């Protein structure tokens, strides 16, 4: 049990590394949570600082998810604990202990997790994200469009019921975290149709 709890703690501490916060402080001397949308993520860094910095943050946040899963795999824990380590990394990104539990949405970290657990599905998701972003020009809209495809693609390529339910649980978690933005998006979409 100590080993299993250790992978959860490691996942959380890895997820808590505030990549966007660090890059924004180093490059501009700003708290990225106090500008743009208030979200501590790559999207805010892209818009407020630049392409290179945003890319660095994206890769760093994905690496947190990758590392959490690979460490758990290396330590040989069972699948529920492996998935728990990944979810702990997401929680760490959203509620980072290092900077007062005020973090981002965890999307890049989620991508990192599924690049390890379901690489074929994530390769297609990445392509869909590019297409959706091209047409919507909005990161949040892109996420809303693409997210429902993840469990479907996992079902097609992996066939693991546990992994399908895991992806659904993560989508619900992200949706709940963004429930107010979802309402705003519905209002905006409704107005655009009038």
CA–CA distance from 112 to each of 3, 5, 27, 84, 153 (Å)? 22, 21, 25, 14, 16
Residues 131 and 63 in one domain: no
Amino acid 178: pLDDT: 81
- Quote the pLDDT of residue 192: 45
My answer on whether 60 and 142 are in the same domain is no
144 lies in the same domain as 186: yes
Q: What pLDDT shows up at residue 193?
A: 46
- Asked if residues 71 and 113 have their Cβ atoms less than 8 Å apart, the reply is no
pLDDT at 139: 84
Q: What is the domain count for the chain?
A: 2
Which of 90, 117, 144 marks a domain boundary?
Answer: 117
Of 100, 117, 134, the domain-final residue: 117
Residues of the chain with pLDDT under 70: 184-194
Q: What is the pTM of this model?
A: 0.91
Same domain, 105 and 159: no
């Amino acid at each position: 049990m100590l080993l299993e709890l250790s992978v959860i703690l490691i996942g959380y501490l890895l997820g808590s590394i505030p990549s966007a916060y660090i890059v924004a402080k180093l490059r501009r001397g700003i708290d990225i949570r106090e500008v743009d949308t208030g979200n501590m993520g790559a999207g805010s860094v892209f818009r407020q600082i630049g392409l290179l910095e945003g890319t660095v943050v994206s890769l760093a946040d994905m690496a947190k998810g990758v590392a959490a899963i690979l460490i758990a795999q290396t330590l040989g824990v069972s699948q529920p604990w492996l998935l728990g380590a990944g979810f702990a990394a997401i929680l760490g990104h959203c509620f980072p202990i290092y900077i007062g539990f005020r973090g981002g949405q965890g999307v890049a970290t989620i991508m990192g997790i599924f690049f390890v657990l379901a690489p074929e599905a994530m390769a297609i998701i990445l392509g869909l994200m590019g297409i959706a972003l091209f047409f919507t020009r909005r990161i949040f809209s892109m996420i809303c469009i693409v997210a429902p495809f993840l469990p479907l693609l996992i079902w097609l390529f992996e066939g693991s019921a546990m992994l399908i339910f895991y992806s659904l649980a993560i989508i619900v978690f992200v949706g709940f975290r963004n429930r107010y933005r979802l309402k705003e998006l519905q209002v905006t979409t409704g107005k655009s149709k009038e």
